[in-house]
A = this chain, B = another copy of it.
């Protein structure tokens, strides 16, 4: 994920050529803010998507999984303010009606429309508002509303999350853009809350799928705000091919730099989600090294990143590294208690499984920064993994004690 290879450009998810979009206020959010967005490829194009593994998957997840199964899509429609989850047969019918409304406006097949919803669980969608919003959005498609789309898909997010990078591959210029939302109920499993990526590179369906799955595994799937996996997680990539060039299959020398660009966009969006975790004051990067294998490293890193004791200690500016020792110990990862090493906010606190004297002042200064890093070495191998999270604060409790009311 070396950023040096890319140029950052404006435009977010609409930065790549071959895509249009729109965002409107359909009236689903009580606040009256924008709450419905369309991302539309000029023509039907290769696409891939990954979805939540939550067994209570929401209606839009079920419908989109079906619609992307042929490796192609024309458009994504997203609403915020209502998750269309636990809504039974009516929910499925509503998700299909959203796809059909988009298809009618664009003159395409409803099976080429991906549907995503985010917001409260268990409330039927206000379909009159939704279809009205879709009609309005389809009227106003343009290439400059990436910002508005990023805003329209927010729920408890405090800032919009988008990114686009440009890269040269074999004499051609390609762009990868992305937009995401997510702040609470964040422990994605094979996808994140909601993220949509676009590229104008000539990737086929298989190339989209390979690049997306590999990227998601090391980015969105390594973010946790509160260990809770949403019913609505979805991450999709559409490749318009509008930048031209011969098709780029996996294994082609031109595939790797594009896959790296896709992973970079996913990684930056994932970190934005962690930084904007509900109530968060800090972005916390947890790296576990010295593990037997990568799965063990990931397991131990998640145990640290999901420990409410570790997260509250970071909020309190307290270098309570004993809680990191507890977390790796409970994680089930293989470790050598006599070789464990913990660096908390840049300060060595534990070596060979034993406390070492450290400067509390130095630790306190490091913990006052907006980004905190924790590194734990398990002392048994060479594998490593990094997970992003945030601190656990009063504000998290307030937001989630009051969310539905």
Contacts and interface: CB of A to CB of B under 8 A. Distances in A.
Contacts of A114: none
A401 interface: yes
A158 interface: no
Contact of A308 (B85, B86, B226, B404): B226
So how many copies of this chain end up in the complex? 2
A122 B394 contact: no
A131 interface: no
Interface in A323-353: 323, 325-331, 333-335, 337-338, 340, 349-350, 352-353
Specify the main secondary structure of chain A where it touches its partner.
Answer: loop
Contacts of A325: 56, 85-86, 121-122, 231
Interface stretch (A24-32, A94-102, A313-321): A313-321
Contacts of A93: none
A121 B323 contact: yes
A355 B85 CA distance: 9
A404 B320 contact: yes
A42 interface: no
Interface string A202-231: 000000000000000000000000111111
Interface in A368-401: 392-394, 396-401
B88 A401 contact: no
> By CB atoms of chain B within 10 A, which of A88, A354, A397, A398 has the most?
A397
A111 to B, nearest CB: 23
Given A318-B401, A328-B56, A330-B54, A355 B123 contact: yes
A227 B55 contact: no
A122 B349 CA distance: 9
B330 A189 contact: yes
Contact of A320 (B340, B354, B403): B403
3 residue pairs, one from A and one from B, having the closest CB atoms? A121-B322, A316-B401, A56-B329
Interface of A: 53-57, 83, 85-91, 120-124, 184-185, 187, 189, 226-231, 306-309, 312-313, 315-318, 320-323, 325-331, 333-335, 337-338, 340, 349-350, 352-355, 392-394, 396-405
